[in-house]
Amino acid sequence: MSLGFSGKLAKNLLNLAPKVATQSLSVVPEKVKLDILAKMLSLSLSEQIKFGELDFLKGKWVAICVQDIGLSFEISFDKQLLLRPLTQADVTFTANVPELLLVAAAKEDPDTLFFQRKLRIEGDTELGLEVKNLLLGIELDALPVAMKASIEKLAITLQTLQTYSNEQNAATA
Give the CATH number for residue 78.
3.30.1050.10
Judge whether 85 lies within some domain. Answer: yes
Q: Is the pLDDT of residue 66 over 70?
A: yes
Q: CB–CB of 88/63 below 8 Å?
A: no
Amino acid identity of residue 21, one-letter, is A
Neighbours of 41 (CB within 10 A): 16
Q: What is the pLDDT of residues 12-21, one digit of tens each?
A: 888 888 888 8
Overall domain count for the chain: 1
Residue 5 has a pLDDT of 57
Task: Report how far apart, in Å, the C-alpha atoms of 153 and of each of 21, 120, 125, 146 are.
Answer: 18, 26, 32, 11
Sign of CA dihedral 115, 117, 120, 124: positive
Closest CA to 108 of 121, 93, 119: 119
Residue 173 covered by a domain: no
Neighbours of 132 (CB within 10 A): 18
Which residue range is the domain that position 16 belongs to?
A: 3-163
Residue 172 lies in a domain: no
Does residue 168 lie within any of the structural domains? no
Give the H or E element holding residue 157: helix 145-172
Given a cut of 60, whether residue 3 has pLDDT beyond it is no
pTM of the model: 0.83
